[in-house]
Amino acid sequence: MTFRQFVIRNVFRNSRLYAAYFLSSMFTVMVFFTFANFAFHPVFYEGSFNNNALLGMGVAGGIIYVFSFFFVMYSMSAFLQSRKKEFGILMIHGMSSRQIRTMVFLENLLIGVLATVMGISLGLLFSKAVLLIAENVLIISESLSFYMPWNAMGVTFFSFVVLFLLISLFVAFLLRTKKLTELIKSDRTSKGEPKASGLLVFLSVFLLGAGYIIALSVEGLQVTAVFIPVAILVMIGTYFLFTQLSVFLIHRLKKKKSLYWKKTNMILLSDLAFRMKDNARTFFMVAIISTVAFSAIGTLFGLQSYLTKGLVQANPYDLTYHPYEEEENKEAKAEIVSRTLEEEGVNYEVRKVEVSYFSGISGESNIPVVSSSLYNSLAPLVDRSEVHPTEGEAVMVNGELPQTDTVNPSRNLMDKDIPLATGETISPDESVVSSALPGIVDYYVVSDDTYENLPEAADSDVQYVWQTEGSEELVEIGTQLSEEFPPGSLTAIDSIIYQINKTYGPILFIGLFIGIVFFLSAGSFLYFRLYTDLEEDRKKFGAIRKLGLTDQEMTRVVTKQTGLLFFTPILVALFHGVVALTALAHLFDYNLVKESFYVLSSFALIQILYFLVARMIYTRQLKNV
């Protein structure tokens, strides 16, 4: 048997040992290929797709590739760490250090090529599903049909063969075998009881608390100013949380005898401090990567909501025509809009909104006052209640501020008097919140009789608004009419939101894709770490089962162990994500509770499913002692 044959047979004979590393590598290749398959789709190059979006996809591909390099490097490092004893046995049989390095190089190259081929093959199976998802997220006129992605296959194969070749050379060059006795006894070497430093425990709590308080207390542009300092504080605090605070808390739990001696808690807590210390760097990396994923996706969804919801609040009507003062034929142009809607078979209601502004109410500002008949003709169109002020009374209307869930603080209009032409004044005795008048944030509504008794207006304005029952044709109608009217005079909200989503869709999809890649990779880190401890756990549980531990009790212990492994870093990341998204809400003065809940709960659900699958597989393997 030649040396190459030995390497190949060793890989296939010990397939279970190599499975975790192979699956991690294959997953990485599949993710990159799936994205490349999307990025190289002919629609993006033959159609009128935004060049900036194409550039963004190229940058995203680079980010995924660089992340893949470090992900595979980490997987390789953990894989080699679990094979120390194997290397020692091979050296007993006469294998030299150089042959060990050559074997690792050839094995890694073989696994890399196989993982690349399998990753591309699986990526092809899922490519149609990804294209369908992308088609729903992106706003494009063409369909993202299935195609044979030769370019994506070539780029993926070449990129990852080079990646695995470089990693193989790098690992083979850096691989240093320890003394033979250390390698043979690597799985039996005592690590010593892990201890926590009181100073570092305090520092972890202090840094995390300081970072959270600063992030939650600043508003507006101050959020951007403290972003980097807060990120540094939280990252250092998170590292000490896993390396110091977790060990400290476990020691405290072990000292509570009533808890420690209860059922199988002794088995769980006996080596939990070791596990937390050993997994600290993995937990830290997973927590930070997951936080980045949560924050990035939450930010993208939040920004989309911020833009679209703000526009809808500021423009409650489907079409609004606000002519310039010097514009001619205003009535004729308004008639063009109505006629176009009729020709397209769209049911609508139209209102002419004439608003008069009066001086002498609030300092130098001219304040709008409208009649109740005008207001009540508009209110039902935007689902608001009518108001009926009696003669000599007034209702103050607070307009809804765009992009917030608050109302306009107004100009203290409730405390002002409205002068009448007779010299008398009236005061508002009621206030309501409404967006009935487009573009006006605070004003008065008076009865028709009172309106007739107002002095001469200082200024006036006219708008035309159309409200429809909703129609798919509104986007095309709005785009067509906007080209016929002076720039900025006609607002077609459906058309504007369509254009925003069309521009923003690729960014959202790319961010969503990268965020999910980061999160799933973080889960793979955890599973790989769990798999690394498999042989040690088999021996431990095998010995304890001989002392009377039942399968049911073992399953409970394993559930708690894997639960701590899978959920500890994710819970930390969820807390970080909540703080980050709250700070973002302070930056834009916009409530992100709903968007944050959707994003964070979705990731939490994915992690729960991931945990259930991993626990089932791991428990099954443990029972095969």
Q: Which of 250, 248, 244 is nearest to 280 (CA)?
A: 244
Pairing assessment for the beta strands 394-398 and 442-446 based on DSSP bridges: antiparallel
Give the model confidence (pLDDT) of 500-525 as tens digits.
877 777 777 777 777 777 777 777 77
| AA letter at 43 | V
Question: Exposed, middle or buried by CB within 10 Å (0-12, 13-18, 19+), for 15?
Answer: exposed
Average pLDDT on 585-608 reads 83
Percent of the chain with pLDDT over 70: 89
Pairing assessment for the beta strands 394-398 and 425-426 based on DSSP bridges: unpaired
Checking if the pLDDT of 401 tops 70, the result is no
Question: Exposed, middle or buried by CB within 10 Å (0-12, 13-18, 19+), for 149?
Answer: buried
Checking if the pLDDT of 616 tops 80, the result is yes
Q: What is the pLDDT of residue 282?
A: 80
Q: Please give the mean pLDDT across all residues of the chain.
A: 81
Average pLDDT on 36-44 reads 79
Bridge partners of 491, per DSSP, are 320
At residue 16 the predicted structure's pLDDT band, cuts being 50, 70 and 90, is low
At residue 407 the predicted structure's pLDDT band, cuts being 50, 70 and 90, is very low
Question: Exposed, middle or buried by CB within 10 Å (0-12, 13-18, 19+), for 16?
Answer: exposed
Q: What is the pLDDT of residue 360?
A: 78
Average pLDDT on 536-550 reads 79
Give the model confidence (pLDDT) of 462-499 as tens digits.
999 999 887 778 888 888 888 888 888 888 988 888 88
Give the model confidence (pLDDT) of 415-461 as tens digits.
788 888 888 888 888 888 888 888 887 889 999 999 998 888 888 88
Give the model confidence (pLDDT) of 137-168 as tens digits.
666 666 677 778 888 899 999 998 888 888 88
Angle between helix 84-92 and helix 97-137 axes, rounded to 10 deg: 150
